[in-house]
Amino acid sequence: MNLETIIRDVPDFPKKGIIFKDITTLLQDGEAFRLALNLMLKKYLDAKIDKVLGIEARGFIFGGVLAYKLGCGFVPARKPGKLPFRTIREEYTLEYGSSALEIHEDSIKPGEKVLIVDDLLATGGTALAAALLAEKLGGEVAGIEFLIELGFLKGRDKIAKYPISSLITY
């Protein structure tokens, strides 16, 4: 199965000139969704991952399933003000603006191996912010996993010091 053919292009979203890669078509296809998750999972079965850090919001979809399958904890990285307990924060820039991510200050323990998961690697700012958050708490980034990578934006360069994997590259 070619996962790339299942993902829908939406022109001019969220603003003119951007072609949004809509993964809802993949999520709606049980066989494609299962294949994508199994391809992501197999790389980490023997890695002894302690936490999966999923980036809001689509990273929660993939990250939650991977944490369940790996038998480890899940850490949600959310936009500011969304988490109920004390947080740490990292600001970043993305292809069409800037934002920040937060995680609970007690979500990762020193020495824990952390797998970061998101649906899309664009400019790399969001993934770098997630990695820096994990490291601030003493975590070791074991890998950063994406469904899609927009190679022409060179986001991989920003996070090159970490192991990176993408199922689909445009």
Catalytic residue among 56, 95, 105, 135: 95
Element containing residue 61 per DSSP (H, E): helix 58-70
Total number of residues shown for the chain: 170
Can you tell me whether residue 165 is helix, strand or coil? strand
Q: Please give the Cα distance from 86 to 13 (Å, whole number).
A: 34
Burial status of residue 126 (CB atoms within 10 A of its CB: 0-12, 13-18, 19 or more): buried
95 in active site: yes
Catalytic residue among 8, 31, 58, 140: 58
Helices 58-70 and 30-42 cross at an angle (nearest 10°) of 60
Burial status of residue 28 (CB atoms within 10 A of its CB: 0-12, 13-18, 19 or more): exposed
The DSSP bridge pattern shows strands 113-121 and 140-149 to be parallel
58 in active site: yes
- What Cα–Cα distance (Å) separates residue 98 from each residue in 65, 79, 92, 125, 147? 28, 11, 6, 9, 22
Q: What are the residue numbers of the active site? A: 58, 95
